[in-house]
């Protein structure tokens, strides 16, 4: 493996992982919107039992989704940092 192939491979991998982190951020925003919608349903339609239950379901599922994707973003950022560190280490060894 040549140095240029190594550089190209790592740059591709780093760019791909950063793109996937952006996608996770978009999902996080979507779940924030779902949680907010659930909160609004709970707040404004507390007299209608169906909408109240729907609001609680949306709020709970949105919160769980935010926790899940936040966890993925956290570990994804750590993984990108590890890949960059490994890339720098391998570049120094060439």
At 83-93, the pLDDT tens digits run 999 999 999 98
Q: Where are the domains of the chain?
A: 25-84
Report the C-alpha dihedral over residues 26, 27, 33, 34, rounded to 10 degrees: 170
pLDDT attached to residue 57: 98
List C-alpha distances in Å: 74 to 39, 58, 71, 81.
26, 24, 5, 11
At 14-51, the pLDDT tens digits run 999 999 999 999 999 999 999 999 999 999 999 999 99
pLDDT attached to residue 93: 87
Angle between helices 49-93 and 3-44 (to 10 degrees): 160
pLDDT attached to residue 94: 79
């Amino acid at each position: 493996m040549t140095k240029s192939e190594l550089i190209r491979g790592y740059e591709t991998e780093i760019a791909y992982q950063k793109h996937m982190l952006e996608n996770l951020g978009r999902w996080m925003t979507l779940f924030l919107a779902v949680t907010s919608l659930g909160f609004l349903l709970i707040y404004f339609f507390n007299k209608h039992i169906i909408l109240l239950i729907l609001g609680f379901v949306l709020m709970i599922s949105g919160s769980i989704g935010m926790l899940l994707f936040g966890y993925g973003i956290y570990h994804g950022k750590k993984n990108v940092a590890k890949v960059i560190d490994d890339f720098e280490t391998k570049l120094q060894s060439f």
